[in-house]
Amino acid sequence: MIGSFAVQRMTAITFDLLIKRLVLASLVLIGAAGVYSARGLYSDGSFWLMEMLPRGGFYIFDIHRAYAQILVQAPVALAIWLNVVDLNTLIRVHSFGFVGIPLIFWLAALAIHIRTKLFWFFLIGFTVSYLRSNFFAAGEFSTAYALTAFCTAILLKERVSTWLLVCMLFSAIVLIHSYEATVFLGGFLASLTVLRIVKQSTDTKAVKISLALALVCFLISFYTGAKSTFFDRPYDGQGTANLGAFTQLHFLYLLCMPALLAITCINRNKRINVVLGIFCVVISMAYLGYTFRWDQSQISFGYQSYAYRALCCFLLLGSLLLAVVFHYKPTFLRLDRPSSTVFPLSIGTAAFFISLALPLLFHTYGFYKWAQRFEAEALAITRHTHIDHTRINTNHGWTHGYNWMWGNPSTSILLRGNAEAIILNNSTHAGFDPVDHETIARDPLQPISNSTKSNGQTTRYVKRSLLFP
């Protein structure tokens, strides 16, 4: 009996570890696909790059988010300083900053706890935040969420190395000016840091000093987020509230799945937990069927990514709070037992992860095909042309609609290599246009040239081949 139990436990542990490694491999795949498809161009991303190129480096336009902007723009700035002039290379390096850098911190957070049950809580956090919102990669929120998860993973680790302490301090500094959500994230991390200082008696003096420095940074980030949210931005609550979201299946699914997974951690009945785990798998597969077959909402996936960024913050905090509770009160969550009892949580979380990872990968491929059409049209036109007068957009539904008002003209210039002919926004567009067509017409290459070198010479960025063959 004892031998049979030991074999079953070892099998469960091995299977558990295999799933975790497959998850990490999936994150690498998501990052590689995002960089290759140049998903960083989506939405505001191309506009950011267009503003960076003539400056010869960083484009910082919001002091409250400056450190996060510096972090994700650093790869492109470094490439420019190294005299890289090929636009295709710079576009993919730019996508690495927007798509890959947040993923690196998420990979690190998950890898830190790959041999503990905390892994599943961090995977829930990754699923509800990055997978739901990072298709809109040109947002500081994705970086702020990833840094928060990374710092939490370190704070919940029993023994912290010097290298991890340095990384946590770096992350804490970046969070100071990252995103308005630090009004919540900063307060959470500060509270967790105090809890660790009080509870972890085995920490050395060097660790405690590092924790104290991180605490200061977290408190400053809380202040910065609060100041920007309540005093420096003209928000209208009536204009931003959308109670109709409670009727959307995507919204309800994002709320219900973490709740069901949390119940499997609290419930004491093993049979009910197994049923709940299987139920989570069934719901996840049904959701996939809905998204690819039956969804008639006609809301583009990219817009949904942007719209869900605030909700993702609170769902992330909820999953991280579960990790904190399990770390300090494992008996409360009923997970302080052999690995086999974690099956409902692990299999349910894995299914939840798959249900949002597959749509992200699908739309990454969809964006590649859309950008392929966009590049072909950008090279073919001979005068400024409205996008609805091209063959780029077949429709604006869930599986299409990758154009964005702030991105269309900039994407056109970057993919064409000059501004002699630009794909403009829809002919019916009456809002602000980010591109000054008259200025560009007088000097077509000026928007993608850099004259900031010390010798006064101008560097011209060139397009040598198709980015999307």
255 in any annotated domain:
no
Backbone phi, then psi, for 345, in 5-degree steps? -70, -45
CA 304-307-309 angle, 5° bins: 110
Q: Which domain holds residue 212?
A: 160-232
The pLDDT of 422-451, averaged and rounded, is 61
Per-residue pLDDT reduced to its tens digit, 126-180: 999 999 999 999 889 999 999 999 999 999 999 999 999 999 999 999 999 999 9
> 293 or 377, which is more confident?
377
CA atoms of 59 and 74, how far apart (whole Å): 10
Residue written as token pair 């085995």 = 202
User: Which one, of 124, 116, 161, 82, lies nearest residue 13 by Cα?
Assistant: 116
How many C-beta neighbours within 10 Å does residue 283 have?
18
Domain membership flag for residue 390? yes
* Per-residue pLDDT tens digits for 189-206: 999 999 999 998 888 999
Domain end marker among 177, 212, 232: 232
pLDDT at 419 over 90: no
Instruction: Give residue for tokens 């699908």.
Output: 362
| pLDDT, the chain, mean | 85
Q: Looking at residue 437, what is its pLDDT?
A: 57
Provide the pLDDT for residue 340: 43
- Taking alpha carbons only, the member of 309, 278, 289, 255 closest to residue 359 is 289
- Of 191, 210, 232, which residue sits at a domain end? 232
Do the Cβ atoms of 247 and 79 come closer than 8 Å?
A: no
Whole-number pLDDT of residue 407:
81
Residue carrying structure tokens 């101008």: 458
Are 59 and 73 in contact by the 8 Å Cβ rule? The answer is: yes
Local confidence band at 270 (pLDDT 50, 70, 90 cut-offs): confident
Residue 7 lies inside a defined structural domain of this protein: no
Residue 244 has a pLDDT of 59
- State the pLDDT at residue 277: 87
Q: Residue 347 pLDDT > 60, yes or no?
A: yes
Question: 87-117 pLDDT, tens per residue?
Answer: 999 999 999 999 999 999 999 999 999 998 8
pTM of the predicted protein model: 0.91
Indicate the SS3 state at residue 267.
coil
* Total tally of structural domains belonging to the chain: 2
Q: At 423, is the secondary structure helix, strand, or coil?
A: strand
- Greater confidence (2 vs 20) lies with 20
- Residue 431: which pLDDT band, with cuts at 50, 70 and 90? low
Name, in order, each residue with C-beta under 8 angstroms of 158's C-beta and a sequence gap of 6 or more. 200, 202
3-17 pLDDT per residue, tens: 554 544 555 567 788
| Tokens describing residue 460 | 């011209």
424 in a structural domain? yes
Within 403-450, strands assigned E span 423-424, 449-450
Specify if 165 maps to a domain. Answer: yes
Last residue of a domain, one of 183, 208, 232: 232
Range in 57-61, 145-149, 354-358, 438-442 with the lowest mean pLDDT? 438-442
- Encode pLDDT of 296-317 as tens digits: 667 778 888 888 888 899 999 9
* 280 in a structural domain: no
Residue ranges in 332-407 assigned as alpha helix (H): 343-380
Whether residue 187 lies inside any domain: the answer is yes
In this structure, is residue 271 part of a structural domain? no
Alpha carbon of residue 154 to chain centroid: 20
Looking at residue 266, its pLDDT comes to 81
